[in-house]
Chains A and B, each alone.
Chain A
Amino acid sequence: MELNQLMFFLLAGLILFFSVLAITSRKILRAAIYLLTVLIATSGLYFMLNYEFMAAVQLTLYAGGIVVLIIFSILLTSHISHKFEQPALANVFAGALTGILGCGVAIWSIIKFPFVTTTQPALVVDMKVVGTQLMNTGDYGYALPFEVISVLLLAAMIAAIIIAKKGN
């Protein structure tokens, strides 16, 4: 086995293992930490693909941003002695069934997809290309979605401020 493959299986194994832990843990903060590990391992996959920009975005936004916010809200709301109750058996079964179904669909589509092996060297993603593409208004440009998302975020922020103000 090559080192590359070893690395991939290691990361994939980490992601699978901690995903299962994250949903089965009965302590909420531990679940958040397992989720963090999953996200960091995912960014490791991006690093393997030489897509460093995506990897750094994954680290900043998900690991550094969203998980910190999740942990922060857990800190404010829950106590250390709090534990989730064991879910009802029917729920466990329904959840497992949905999980297996989703997994099956994913595996099926991966098997069905005609992957073509190339001998070309790995593509180096130039940051300038990413930048111009993001701000491009022409074909395949991301300027419009970018702006629409910013409006959405603005709306969310205003809503948050209004909710926070209501207390006073």
Chain B
Amino acid sequence: MDFNIYDFTSFTTWVHNALTSSMSPGWAMFVELAIVGVVFIAFYAVIGLYLVYAERKVCALIQNRKGPNRVGPFGLLQTIADLFKLLMKELIYIKNADKFLFNLAPFIVIIASFMAIAALPFAKGLHAIDLNIGIFYLFAVSSLGVIGILLAGWSSNSKYSLIGAIRSGAQVVSYELSVGLALLSIVIFSGSMQLSTIVESQANGWWIIKGHIPAIISFLIFLVASTAETNRGPFDLAEAESELTAGFHTEYSGIKFAFFFLAEYMNMFIVAAIAATVFLGGWMPFHIPGLDGMNHVMDYIPPFVWFMGKTAFIIFIMMWFKWTFPRLRIDQLLKLEWKYLLPLNLMNIVLIAFIVLMGWYIK
């Protein structure tokens, strides 16, 4: 076996061949599915927990505090301790709640984020499934999470939850458009919806550089709209704690609350990963044509690190937003989308089509 951290293709083919040679193809596929599932669950848990830790550290940095620093070195084990606390907490049952839907809602939210994570290319040759409509699939799956939020709000039989759910519904349905249209701009540039092709097309430069002005506009719109779609501050109206105490998850406790909590952070990771893949070149290292020496140094850094680094950078920006801005009001939120982002987006797409037609981008 030839294990190489710069290209996982040989590793994955080796695993596949080893499995198919030792059992029937059906079982081999089944085992592969199981392996991918276990890896993703582990990855999900670790990323989720450490994003919570990262958020607390970033927020502490912005607020002149230290953040968690007692459990483990630099407080690294703090969120794990929190997880155990949440696991042990009592699950409070609500009288007159629709129990079935009440229990189902956290799972829908978390399954939606699982489905999205499956299509992400983490490094060269390291993705669970490389659909030829990758971006479209991500867009489709990301719209499912809101169903869980709507269910949670309605089935808790609480007015605060219901208002939170309705807010979140209006918000996600509106901002989905901007997210989709912003991603469409890169589809026009690269001429493909397949995530691996989009990443390959950025080998000689990231789209945000190659696509110059319109790509930067799309990137900014995507950043704003995806922050809104994940219900994060300053767009966290669905759980605005100063108005609705906790919005749609007011009535949840223990591990069910933790599901919502984890899903929020995973959604943040997913949108950041999409932005990194589509605009910032995914796992492609940073290259400047002509500077061969620097390009070699950049190539030395493994693709997985590049991918995670870019994702972390975007996540940092999103956290930075959240901890500096006040929250928008619901009518301002919708006005921002329908009056500013959407028209701007449509004009931007026309501009991109024109630029691609004329070949005015860096090839």
Residue ID in chain B nearest A65 by CB atoms: B143
Q: A74–B144 contact, CB under 8 A?
A: no
Q: B96–A80 contact, CB under 8 A?
A: yes
> Is B275 part of the binding interface, using a Cβ–Cβ cutoff of 8 Å?
no
Q: A71–B150 contact, CB under 8 A?
A: yes
Mark B147-176 against chain A: 1 for CB-CB distance below 8 A, else 0.
Answer: 100110111010000100110011011001
- Contact residue among B30, B98, B193 (Cβ-Cβ distance under 8 Å from A80): B98
Main SS class of interface, A: helix
Mark A33-52 against chain B: 1 for CB-CB distance below 8 A, else 0.
Answer: 10010000000000000001
Mark A1-13 against chain B: 1 for CB-CB distance below 8 A, else 0.
Answer: 0110000000000
Q: B151–A71 contact, CB under 8 A?
A: yes
Q: B154–A74 contact, CB under 8 A?
A: yes
Residue ID in chain B nearest A50 by CB atoms: B132
Mark A61-92 against chain B: 1 for CB-CB distance below 8 A, else 0.
Answer: 00111011101101110001100000000000
> What's the Cα separation between A135 and B25 when bound, in Å?
40
Q: A52–B137 contact, CB under 8 A?
A: yes
Closest-CB distance, A66 to chain B (whole angstroms): 11
> What's the Cα separation between A159 and B123 when bound, in Å?
49
Q: B139–A60 contact, CB under 8 A?
A: yes
> Is B350 part of the binding interface, using a Cβ–Cβ cutoff of 8 Å?
no
Q: A76-B166, A80-B97 are in contact. Are A71 and B30 (CB under 8 A)?
A: no
Residue ID in chain B nearest A80 by CB atoms: B157
- Contact residue among A2, A63, A69, A80 (Cβ-Cβ distance under 8 Å from B144): A63
Q: B143–A68 contact, CB under 8 A?
A: yes
Q: B169–A72 contact, CB under 8 A?
A: yes
Q: A56–B166 contact, CB under 8 A?
A: no
> Is B344 part of the binding interface, using a Cβ–Cβ cutoff of 8 Å?
no
- Contact residue among A3, A64, A124, A126 (Cβ-Cβ distance under 8 Å from B26): A3
Closest-CB distance, A126 to chain B (whole angstroms): 8
> Is B141 part of the binding interface, using a Cβ–Cβ cutoff of 8 Å?
yes
Q: A59–B140 contact, CB under 8 A?
A: yes
For chain B, the bracket of interface size reads: 35 or more
> Is B101 part of the binding interface, using a Cβ–Cβ cutoff of 8 Å?
yes
> What's the Cα separation between A103 and B309 when bound, in Å?
55
Q: A68–B136 contact, CB under 8 A?
A: no
> Is A127 part of the binding interface, using a Cβ–Cβ cutoff of 8 Å?
yes
Residue ID in chain A nearest B137 by CB atoms: A56
Residue ID in chain A nearest B102 by CB atoms: A80
Across-interface contacts of B136 in A (CB, < 8 A): 53, 56, 60
Q: B144–A127 contact, CB under 8 A?
A: no
> Is B133 part of the binding interface, using a Cβ–Cβ cutoff of 8 Å?
yes
- Contact residue among A29, A52, A76 (Cβ-Cβ distance under 8 Å from B133): A52
Residue ID in chain B nearest A79 by CB atoms: B157
> What's the Cα separation between A33 and B136 when bound, in Å?
23
Residue ID in chain B nearest A124 by CB atoms: B132
Residue ID in chain B nearest A126 by CB atoms: B132
> What's the Cα separation between A148 and B192 when bound, in Å?
27
Across-interface contacts of A80 in B (CB, < 8 A): 96-98, 154-155, 157
Q: A127–B132 contact, CB under 8 A?
A: yes
Across-interface contacts of A76 in B (CB, < 8 A): 166
Q: A33-B104, A33-B151, A80-B157 are in contact. Are A72 and B173 (CB under 8 A)?
A: yes
Across-interface contacts of B132 in A (CB, < 8 A): 52, 124-127
Q: B101–A30 contact, CB under 8 A?
A: yes
Across-interface contacts of B26 in A (CB, < 8 A): 2-3
Across-interface contacts of B25 in A (CB, < 8 A): 3
> Is B300 part of the binding interface, using a Cβ–Cβ cutoff of 8 Å?
no
Closest-CB distance, A98 to chain B (whole angstroms): 29
Residue ID in chain A nearest B28 by CB atoms: A3
Supply 12 further A-B pairs (C-beta < 8 A) apart from A68-B150, A80-B98. A29-B155, A52-B131, A56-B139, A64-B140, A67-B147, A68-B143, A68-B147, A69-B173, A72-B166, A75-B153, A80-B157, A127-B192
A-B contact pairs, 19 of them (CB 8 A): A3-B29, A36-B147, A52-B131, A52-B133, A53-B136, A56-B131, A56-B140, A59-B140, A59-B141, A59-B143, A64-B143, A68-B169, A68-B172, A68-B173, A71-B151, A72-B150, A80-B97, A80-B98, A126-B132
**A binding-site residues for B, Cβ under 8 Å:** 2-3, 27, 29-30, 33, 36, 52-53, 56-57, 59-60, 63-65, 67-69, 71-72, 74-76, 80-81, 124-127
